[in-house]
Amino acid sequence: MDVELDLTLPIGGREVRVALRSSAPSIAIVGPSGIGKTSLLRAIAGLSRGCRGKVQLRGTVLQDDASKILVPPHERRIGWVPQEAHLFPHLSVRENIAFAARAPSKTLDDELGITALGITALLDRAPSTLSGGERQRVAIARALACAPQTLLLDEPLVALDREARAQIAERIIEHCTTHDILRVVVAHDESDLTALAEQRFEMTERGHP
Amino acid sequence: MSPLVLSLVIACASALIGMPPAIALGWVLARRTFRGKTLLSALVLAPLVLPPVVTGLLLLRLLGRRGAFGPVLEGIGVSVPFTTLGAVIAALVVGLPLYVIAARTAFEGVDPRLEEVASTLGASPLRVLTRITLPLAWPGLLAGAVLAFARALGEFGATAVLAGDVPGETRTIALAVYAALEAPRGEPDALRLSLLSVGLSVLALVFHELLLARHVRRAGRRA
C-alpha cells in the first residue's frame, strides 16, 4: 500500500473519521467545501494537533497512536503546497526555494525545472510583488526543492490561468515521476483532478473518502 | 557620570539585558498553551500596575544585603543596593512588562502557517525560530526594546528604593530632577533636566512608532 490512512480529525467542533487505502502513485481527495479535505492534508503533514489514528505512506509509519509513533513534520519528507502559497515574505523567491533545498549547492534550475515553472525572471523578487499565480508557481518549486517523498497539493493550480494550468500540471507530474514522489491532491476543478491524480476518493458527510 | 550619561547607560543596559527574557516570555505567551499561563502573564505584568516604590521594596527584599539572595550575591562579590547595577535591575523589572507585551504582540503578528510550511520543508523547530519567526518578529521586538529603554529613562520609584540617590552612580535624570527640586533655588536646574527628559523620551517614542509601523507593514504583507 502506498497510502494507508485511518484517522479521526477534529473539524469545526465535530469529529470526522477518514479511512483510506490506495496503491496508486497519485490520489485525489474530493468532496464539498468545509468537509475537511485541507484538514486531512494537514494531518498527513503532521500539522494537525488533535488528530488521532494512523498515517502510513509508502511503508513508512508517520503516525500510529497504538504504537505511540508520531513523526514531527520536519522529519516526514513531505512537500506541502498550501492553497494560499504562504511564501516567506522576508525572503526573496530564490531564498524561499533555497530555504527548502536539502542540498544547497545543487543547481536549482536543473533539479526543479525553474524554467519550466516559469519563474526564472522572478528569482530576485520579493513575494509581495508577485501575482497569485506567480506565488503558486514558487510555492510548487519550493515544495519540490525539499526533495519530498510525498507531495501534498491543496488546490495547486487554482490561481493559474487555463494555459498555465496544463503546463504546470505537466511539470509536477514529470518531476514526481522522475523522483518517484507520491501525490495527494485536493482540487475542485475536474480537469485539474484528471490531470494530477490517477485515483480519486470522495469525502462524504459520513467522513469516509 | 552625569545624570544624562547615567540615564542613557542604565536605560541601554536594561533594554539589552531584558531582551532575552522578554523575547522568551513573549514567545511562550504567544505560542504556547499550558496550565498556569494566566498566572505567569499576571506575574510578568504586575510591575506595570504596582506602585514602582513597592516593586523597589520587593526587589530590596530579594536582592538587598539582608534580602533572600543577599548572602549569595555577597558571596560572589556582587552588591546591588546603592549601585549602578541596582539601578539597571530596577529599570529592567519595571520596564519588562511593556517589553513582554511588545514581544508577545510581535510573535502573534507572525502568521503561524508560515512556521508550519517551514517545518514541512524540513526545518527543525530551532531553524524555524531563527530563520522565520525571529526575522519576521524582529521590528516588533526592537520596538519593544525601545519602549523598555524609554520606560527606563523615566524610572524613579523602584530605583530610588533599591539603588538610592548616589551622584555619579545611581542619580539618573529623574532622580536629579527630584534632588534639584529639594535643593534651595534648584527649580531652574530641575526644569532644564525635565526638558532634557522630555526630549529624550519623545525621541525614543518616535523611533518606537517608526519601528512599529514597519512591523505592521511587514506582518500585514500577505505572501
Tens digit of each residue's pLDDT, chain B (223 residues) = 888 999 999 999 999 999 999 999 999 999 999 999 999 999 999 999 999 999 999 999 999 988 899 889 988 988 899 999 999 999 999 999 999 999 999 999 999 999 999 999 999 999 999 999 999 999 889 999 999 999 999 899 999 999 989 999 999 999 999 999 999 998 999 999 999 999 999 999 998 888 888 777 766 554 4
Summarize pLDDT for A57-83 with one digit per residue, the tens. 998 999 999 999 999 999 999 999 998
ipTM over cut 0.95 = no
Q: What DSSP letter does each residue of B189-212 carry, written as one string?
A: HHHHHHHHHHHHHHHHHHHHHHHH
pLDDT at A109: 59
Edge-to-edge, what's the strand order for the sheet holding A14-22? A14-22, A3-11, A52-57, A60-64, A69-70
- Of A168-172, A205-209, B35-39, minimum mean pLDDT range: A205-209
Measured CA to CA, the distance from residue A2 to residue A55 in angstroms comes to 11
pLDDT at A103: 58
Residue A55 lies in a domain: yes
The HSE-up count of residue B39 (CA atoms within 13 Å, CB side) is 3
What cell does A52 get?
A: 488521532
pLDDT at A207: 44
Q: How close, in Å, is residue B149 to chain A by CA atoms?
A: 27
- Chain A residue numbers with beta carbons less than 8 Å from the beta carbon of B111 are 86
- Chain B residue numbers with beta carbons less than 8 Å from the beta carbon of A44 are none
Which of B34, B121, B128, B134 is the best mutation test for A, with the most CBs of A within 10 A?
B121
Query: What is the number of CB-based contacts under 8 A between chain A and chain B?
Result: 75
pLDDT at A129: 93
Say which DSSP state A181 is in.
-
- Chain A residue numbers with beta carbons less than 8 Å from the beta carbon of B132 are 88
pLDDT at A116 over 80: no
Summarize pLDDT for A90-103 with one digit per residue, the tens. 999 999 998 987 65
Q: Which residue among A87, A102, A126 places its CB closest to the CB of B122? A: A102
Measured CA to CA, the distance from residue A94 to residue B217 in angstroms comes to 22
Number of structural domains in chain A = 1
Average pLDDT over residues A9-16: 84
Q: Which residues pair with A151 in a beta bridge?
A: A79, A183
Q: Residues near A154 by Cβ (< 8 Å), separated by ≥ 6?
A: A37, A38, A41, A80, A81, A82, A83, A186
Measured CA to CA, the distance from residue B7 to residue B172 in angstroms comes to 5
Q: How many CB atoms are located within 10 Å of the residue B8 CB?
A: 18
Residue A47 lies in a domain: yes
Q: How many residues does chain B have?
A: 223
Instruction: Look up the domain containing A91 and give its range.
Output: 3-202
Q: Residues near A179 by Cβ (< 8 Å), separated by ≥ 6?
A: A147
User: What does pLDDT average to over chain A?
Assistant: 86
How do beta strands A3-11 and A78-81 pair?
A: unpaired
Q: Where are the alpha helices (DSSP H) in B32-133?
A: 37-49, 52-63, 70-75, 84-108, 112-120, 125-128
pLDDT at B222: 44
Delimit the domains of chain B by residue range. 3-220
Helix/strand/coil for A145: helix
Q: The domain that contains A156 carries what CATH number?
A: 3.40.50.300
CATH number for domain B3-220, candidates 1.10.8.50, 3.30.56.10, 1.10.760.10, 1.10.3720.10: 1.10.3720.10
Q: Which of residues 174-193 of B touch A (CB under 8 A)?
A: none
Distance between first and last Cα of chain A: 16
Helix/strand/coil for A199: strand
Please give the C-alpha separations between residue A55 and each of A7, A47, A63, B123, in angstroms, as whole numbers.
7, 13, 5, 21
B189-B195-B198 Cα angle (round to 5): 140
Say which DSSP state A70 is in.
E
CB contact under 8 A, B114 and A82: no
What cell does B71 get?
A: 548572602
pLDDT at A104: 55
Q: Is A175 part of the contact surface with chain B (CB cutoff 8 Å)? A: no
B98-B101-B106 Cα angle (round to 5): 125
CB contact under 8 A, A79 and B114: no
Measured CA to CA, the distance from residue A170 to residue A153 in angstroms comes to 14
Provide the whole-model pTM.
0.85
Helix/strand/coil for B10: helix
Find out whether B80 and B89 touch, Cβ atoms under 8 Å: yes
User: What is the distance, to the nearest Å, from the Cα of residue B95 to the centroid of all Cα atoms in its chain?
Assistant: 3
Measured CA to CA, the distance from residue B191 to residue A125 in angstroms comes to 53
